[in-house]
Chain A
């Protein structure tokens, strides 16, 4: 198992190298230049364009720019600097990473906690009224984009006279020290984005779980278990769920990159201090090292997520073994 893990980790390196080269090429192929966004500023002259281009190393051939970045990463773990802020990309990401992971993990966790039991329930009570309602809500959740849900919730809270319409805190609480009041304030703001993003996740996962359960429920061993008089709880949890959960474990691994990219639109609409808008801006303005590093982070998370999913699969299912 250990050898397998190590081999997988080593195998990631060439994959990441190829991904970085592809990402860099794509960023470079995008038309326009980083300096375009400033043209309308009266202070901006052709000399400034030349000076900035030189300072940023953009006058070098693309291959040299990429090579330097790669060399920095390999030798010093230096992921380059953000053109926009002149600061190392790592600092830029670091400033926002905490809240990003917090919001995304919370949403992920909540949607799983709701979706999996709901999926099991709807599979078992296929024709019940509650299941039909849950299914209907599931369809609705899948059909409505998360940012629209967020906007609707914002307009609802505004109508109800609340002022928690965006951000993570009330203005006065933003730089206050931690206290129970601040935690309460955070929760009062957090429910909208968590609900909006979570609803879509719940809908998808629930249907996945339900389908997987329905597959398993028609298997012989479930019928056997029931026939030999096993309790309903045992049939559900020992026989059905353990077998139905496999596809969801793989799915969980794939959802790790959403920590970065899952909340772009909602972060802008709901004004959350997360990484999403940074990625969006950097791609739009050709802030190449920021964009590249964020895309790489996303790729690393995907690879790691896959590895973790595979390992979890082996742990959950005795039939799966790697050697």
Chain B
């Protein structure tokens, strides 16, 4: 469970990008975070991960996020970055996947078992020893998800997981996301993908919540979406 209580944040003094934000995500929920560019989606994720800190309280499993418990809380949260190149910094997929389990003091054997299990689950066994810079964009995105799953986080945060992917790879990523049992928070402009993967949607606008409710309901509200520089998902617009 993650909870924001009156959280505000500004990169520059006097220019708040997040304003008095309060919401709660329960265990097992799959939440889409949508909004126009600059609405504050990425900042919400950074706040959640303690990469930036603002005013107000952020609670993870009832525990307030502070500098002291940052590493413990980060262990519970897996973050898939928008740019997989920035996530995959080890030479091979295998070494990248081993990175987090080893940091969390798992033995090499245990870490390896975990890596194999995740690769098997995502059907990525053939990527195991491939060099990160020699795999395609779609493979890299799946591998980035795999590196996070190898941490066995309780909650997964994803920043634009379907961006820059061709339809086939996009579908692979969507299917993979749907099969994840963890609590999910997915930030994206790809509203079709949000419709496919999320039960609930939080619409951000100017750092505030403009709407929060069932995905089917919010993503069908043409007037609401258009007033916040978004469009109906293609699938719904056709109807």
Chain B associates with chain A: no
